[in-house]
Chains A and B, each alone.
Chain A
Amino acid sequence: MRLILYTGKGGVGKTTTAAATGALAAQRGLRTLVVSADAAHSLGDVFDRRLGPKPRRLATRLDAVEIDARHVIEEQWGRVRNYLVELLRYQGIDEVVADELALLPGADELATLVCVEEWASSGLYDLILVDCAPTGSTLRLVTLPEVAHSSLRWMLRLQRATAQIVEPIARGLVGAPLPSAEVFAEADRLFYKTLHRLRARLLSAQTSIRIVVTPESMVIAEARRLLTDLCLFQLASDAVIVNRLLPDEALREAFFQEWGQTQIERLREVETAFSPMACLTVPLQADEVRGVVALAEHGKMIFGDRDPAARLGPSLRLRFERDDGGARIRLPLPGLDPKTLEVTRVEDELVIGVAGRRRKIALPAGFAKLEVDRVSYHGEELLVSFAANGQSERPPPSSPASANWPSP
């Protein structure tokens, strides 16, 4: 079972790209499910079919679904929900609960994870494609197992340690029942086990993330930050897809002349920033891509002879480390002459100059108060060490810290 998540800034064409991948993969024999995880769904609009919270068959081997957090909660949260209803009845309100819960932050992401894991382990599909919400929410989606995993383990331990003593007293004091062991067992099953499995799935070699961009600097800058966060959580991305490249025909229009030059530069920027991931390019279409047939054709344009479900390229093995001794970034850069290397920190980015080419890496939030301390190159790997403010001899972070390769 292969799982591929499509992500990127809003409006770059994630939905169309995911749907096209699905249409093509199904045509080539894979049992495929396309999942929309964006609360503002447009997957149905792209397929030109009305979709709901249950997978719907659109063509041979091709299903699609739009996740509805409220539906998932009603369906899956049986006991937890009943407990809440019971609790709330004590306080005088009733069945709005499911709705309210569905609208709480994190509910969409949680619902998506629970559903995807269920479909992934159902044996019904060879390929699941998730069309993620715009960047910010995607991060929340991939980090949620981590958060829920930690908080639930603690809640469970706490509950088990205290339930026996506390339950009877609490009932008397607050006039409401505490969650029963059953409620916790269900929460355990739902969150802990499911999310634990999903976390393992997200980290497995069967899962890839594909970043969709357009050749515009704002879009690429955001994608770079996204890549950093993906690396931070050790999620593997196999490809970047550059969508909406203006074709030669369009560039004949005088108006687009400058855009034409810009996109060559942007494309180069993408290739540098995301190597060694595969880089696929897709021209801007003259007509809107809508419906299964048009989408499968579009898929052929994206993937050509490649298998749309294959791992398209190696993932970037960029590693961030932080402990008491400071923080480090490790970046494999094989076959490099260290003399041509220059590393500079500019605001929230690390700029790595290699033989005249500049590669920018967005720094994680945890690095905000640190500055570049030392740069070294060992075993084909670049190692940039950071130190907390004042612990190194470098200038304060208001002026860009710079460190050149020290002479051997």
Chain B
Amino acid sequence: MRVLLYTGKGGVGKTTLALASALGAARHGHRVCVLSTDPAHSLADALGQPVGPHPRRISENVYAREIRAQVELDGAWGHIQDWLRELLREEADVLVAEELLAFPGIEELVALRAVREVEQTGDFDVCVIDCAPTGSTMRMLRFPDALRIFMEHFFEFERKGARLLRPLVRGFAAGRLIPREEFFDAFERLYEEIDDVQQILLDGDRTSARLVVNPTRIIVEETRRSFAYLSLYGIATDAVLVNREMPSAVGEGYFSRWLELERRELEAIEESFPVPIKHVSLRPREVIGLEALEELASDLFGDSDPAQRFSTGRPIRFRHVGGRTRMEIDLPGMTKEEIEVSAKGADLHLRVRDGRRSISLPESLVGRPIEKVRLREPVLEVHFGDG
């Protein structure tokens, strides 16, 4: 199954293009499931028809589903939910407590888990994900790593602690607050599931990110950084989609300055991203409903299949040049001051602005010192010396 992640700055048209791609892919014979992982869902708004937390058929071979933490929690993690409810019961009123069950992090977790669920049904060839705006999406993609750290360093401690405390506080009001053993089991299962999803996301053959951008300065600048973060987390972006370009029909009158600024940004886009760029112009009316979305898909992808891999480049690669191996990673929009590299044991620690990741080194590079780090826009090269 192909997984297509649509992300970008807020308001650029992620939902619209994700839906257009899904409809386009279905026309090429694929069975497609569209998932919205943005807690502020807009699939239904763009389709002009309702979409719920359960898969709903929206067109021939296309299903759509909005991931809602509350509903997912009802189904899969009764135990975790029971505990949270208990925790909140005394303080918040019932209605507020229901809302609060969507604890920070639950949304990211639920979204990732849904991807695995779609794959396991075996009913779909393509899963198109309409992601939350960049900041939250990066957090979602970072989530498996954070969870791993939590599981490795805190989880057993907590579980032991809970086992120990349970008999001691039996009878005290506070005793209800210590999670039951089932809670820990549920959590462990969850961790395994999330780990599966991580495997899907890091596989460039299966997963591609698509960055949606509008030709304005602030959006282009942020999208460059998003591309870099995706690279850092090991996710391959295979295309950048430029939405809402001024159509050629618009004259020089009121919009002359706009057109000038836009031309400049379109050039910047071409220079910034080492992947194919696809364009679609602003429509003469709001893009709502299947017909308008299908028309948009034809304009954006022409005859090509939106589910194909538009670029086979990998975000992180090890290359042999002149008898030596070096690591390369695409980090557009980052300055040298924002990047920190260090080797520690079998891992390379990489920090890019507020993102951080440990990358496993191939065996041949383990223990070798870092000789040189060079930023050749948009590629960061890490050269290794002899061990």
Check A232–B136 contact: CB distance below 8 A.
no
- Which chain A residues border B165 with CB–CB below 8 Å? 162, 166
Check B142–A103 contact: CB distance below 8 A.
yes
Given known A105-B139, A321-B95, contact A255–B247 (CB-CB < 8 A): yes
Check A221–B45 contact: CB distance below 8 A.
yes
Given known A9-B40, A134-B133, A153-B91, contact A103–B139 (CB-CB < 8 A): yes
- Which chain B residues border A40 with CB–CB below 8 Å? 9, 133-135, 138, 222, 225-226
- Which chain B residues border A174 with CB–CB below 8 Å? 157, 160-161, 164
A376 on interface, CB distance cutoff 8 Å: no
**Chain B residue, CB-CB nearest to A12:** B11
Given known A137-B136, A147-B88, contact A252–B108 (CB-CB < 8 A): no
Most chain B beta carbons < 10 A, residue from A40, A109, A216: A40
List residues 214-236 of chain A with CB under 8 A from any CB of chain B: 216-219, 221-222, 225-226, 229, 232-233
Bound complex: CA of A305 vs CA of B181, how far in Å? 62
Given known A134-B40, A249-B253, A322-B93, contact A106–B105 (CB-CB < 8 A): yes
| Shortest distance from the beta carbon of B183 to any chain A beta carbon, whole Å | 15
- Which chain A residues border B222 with CB–CB below 8 Å? 40, 42
| Shortest distance from the beta carbon of A232 to any chain B beta carbon, whole Å | 7
Check B99–A364 contact: CB distance below 8 A.
yes
| Shortest distance from the beta carbon of B287 to any chain A beta carbon, whole Å | 9
Check B142–A166 contact: CB distance below 8 A.
no
Bound complex: CA of A46 vs CA of B217, how far in Å? 10
Among the 9-residue stretches B116-124, B255-263, B315-323, B372-380, the one with 4 or more Cβ atoms under 8 Å from chain A is B255-263
Check A232–B96 contact: CB distance below 8 A.
yes
Bound complex: CA of A327 vs CA of B70, how far in Å? 18
B298 on interface, CB distance cutoff 8 Å: no
- Which chain A residues border B50 with CB–CB below 8 Å? 347-348
Check B99–A366 contact: CB distance below 8 A.
yes
Check A253–B174 contact: CB distance below 8 A.
no
Chain B contact patch, size range: 35 or more
Given known A174-B157, A364-B99, contact A105–B105 (CB-CB < 8 A): yes
Partner of A365, one of B42, B44, B98, B178: B98
Among the 9-residue stretches A88-96, A114-122, A270-278, A308-316, the one with 4 or more Cβ atoms under 8 Å from chain B is A88-96
**Chain A residue, CB-CB nearest to B46:** A218
Check A154–B174 contact: CB distance below 8 A.
yes
- Which chain B residues border A389 with CB–CB below 8 Å? none
Please count how many residues in chain A sit with their CB below 8 Å of the partner chain's CB atoms. 92
| Shortest distance from the beta carbon of A361 to any chain B beta carbon, whole Å | 15
Check A150–B133 contact: CB distance below 8 A.
no
**Chain A residue, CB-CB nearest to B52:** A347
Bound complex: CA of A9 vs CA of B153, how far in Å? 37
Bound complex: CA of A247 vs CA of B157, how far in Å? 62
Given known A137-B135, A139-B39, A174-B157, contact A109–B99 (CB-CB < 8 A): no
- Which chain A residues border B214 with CB–CB below 8 Å? 11
| Shortest distance from the beta carbon of B113 to any chain A beta carbon, whole Å | 14
Bound complex: CA of A169 vs CA of B168, how far in Å? 11
**Chain B residue, CB-CB nearest to A225:** B40
List residues 1-43 of chain A with CB under 8 A from any CB of chain B: 9-12, 38-40, 42
| Shortest distance from the beta carbon of B281 to any chain A beta carbon, whole Å | 10
Bound complex: CA of A233 vs CA of B217, how far in Å? 36
Q: Which 7 A-B pairs have the closest CB atoms?
A: A10-B10, A11-B11, A106-B104, A105-B105, A150-B91, A39-B135, A136-B39
Given contacts A146-B91, A174-B164, A233-B96, 17 further A-B contacts (CB under 8 A): A87-B157, A105-B105, A106-B104, A136-B39, A136-B132, A146-B92, A150-B88, A154-B87, A158-B174, A217-B286, A218-B46, A232-B95, A232-B99, A253-B251, A255-B250, A286-B257, A365-B102
Show 28 A/B contacts (Cβ-Cβ < 8 Å), sorted by A: A10-B9, A10-B10, A40-B134, A40-B138, A68-B354, A70-B354, A88-B153, A103-B355, A104-B105, A106-B103, A134-B132, A135-B40, A136-B40, A136-B132, A143-B100, A151-B87, A173-B160, A174-B157, A222-B42, A232-B99, A233-B96, A250-B255, A255-B284, A257-B284, A288-B217, A322-B95, A366-B95, A366-B99
